[in-house]
Amino acid sequence: MQHKDIWRGLDQLAARHGLSASGLAKRAGLDPTSFNPSKREGPDGRPRWPTTESLARVLEAVGAGFDDFAALVEGRRGGCAPLIGFAQAGQDGFFDNAGFPVGAGWADVRFPGLGTETVYALQISGDSMEPAYRSGDRIIAAPGAPVKAGDRVVAKTAQGEVMAKVLARKTARLIELASLNPDYPSREFKPSEIAWLARILWASQ
């Protein structure tokens, strides 16, 4: 990650929110000249880097996460995923048999570049995944991605229940799904009782 990449990321973050570099600095409560081109090099021509404090304040001011900023710095385009809440997700008609989103009712949410995966977003409800995920957080899930013990997953049962859990065990006879919140017990299913599992790739908190 080079000096010019960090500044390019800041410029692109500003443009995404309809701001100049000066406007971005001002929104974050910084000196409006903090990100001006003249401040990016010292009098001797050596590069100046933005401080971690200024980066943190900028990200907070525009409601962006560090992953999102890193995507801009690295030149990853990011994209949009269809978004739906867990309460709706449990209803019929929102997923096909492989766990891909179908039908109407989906909104869109932006996320950092994650490669070529086909993904969708779900908005967490409830507290069974605290402290990792809290109600209102958005998670990006990839149906069809390989899953292994220890992965955080979205699971849909044959009865239509959708949940975010940790895959504790998966054998020919048993699928055990654990909650990160110790107040909630693990749940065990026969493989035939699980319609699909989708690995969680990313979360917006």
- Position 82 scores a pLDDT of 53
Q: Based on C-alpha coordinates, what's the Rg of the chain?
A: 21
For residue 123 the two structure tokens come to 């908005």
- For the chain, the average pLDDT equals 78
Per-residue pLDDT reduced to its tens digit, 167-183 = 999 999 999 999 888 88
190 & 99 share domain: yes
51 & 124 share domain: no
**DSSP symbols for 46-95:** -B----HHHHHHHHHHHT--HHHHHHHHTT---EEEEEEEHHHHTSTTSB
Percent of the chain with pLDDT over 70: 74
36 & 115 share domain: no
114 & 157 share domain: yes
- Position 167 scores a pLDDT of 94
pTM above 0.85, yes or no: no
Per-residue pLDDT reduced to its tens digit, 177-201 = 998 888 889 999 999 999 889 888 7
Task: Look at 81 and 63; give whichever has higher pLDDT.
Answer: 63
104 & 200 share domain: yes
Q: What is the pLDDT averaged over residues 150-157? A: 89
Pairwise CA distance, residues 181 & 179, whole Å = 5
60 & 94 share domain: no
- Position 84 scores a pLDDT of 57
Asked if 194 and 165 touch (Cβ cutoff 8 Å), the reply is no
187 & 91 share domain: yes
Task: Look at 140 and 59; give whichever has higher pLDDT.
Answer: 59
37 & 100 share domain: no
Pairwise CA distance, residues 131 & 12, whole Å = 32
93 & 136 share domain: yes
62 & 108 share domain: no
Question: Does the pLDDT of residue 57 top 60, yes or no?
Answer: yes
As a three-state string, the secondary structure of 138-165 is EEEEEECCCCCCCCEEEEEECCCCEEEE
The CATH number of residue 46's host domain is 1.10.260.40
How far separated are the first and last CA of the chain, in Å rounded? Answer: 25
Q: What is the pLDDT averaged over residues 39-49? A: 86
- The domain boundary, picked from 12, 38, 73, lies at 73
The CATH number of residue 163's host domain is 2.10.109.10
If one counts the domains in the chain, the total is 2
User: Which helix or strand (DSSP H or E) is residue 187 part of?
Assistant: strand 187-189
113 & 135 share domain: yes
How many of the other CB atoms lie within 10 Å of CB of 154? 24
Farthest CA pair distance, the chain: 69
- Helix, strand or coil, per DSSP, at residue 59: helix
- The domain boundary, picked from 73, 94, 129, lies at 73
Q: What is the pLDDT averaged over residues 42-65? A: 86
- The domain boundary, picked from 73, 104, 133, lies at 73
Q: What is the pLDDT averaged over residues 138-145? A: 78
Task: Look at 78 and 18; give whichever has higher pLDDT.
Answer: 18
66 & 104 share domain: no
User: Which domain, by its residues, includes 33?
Assistant: 3-73
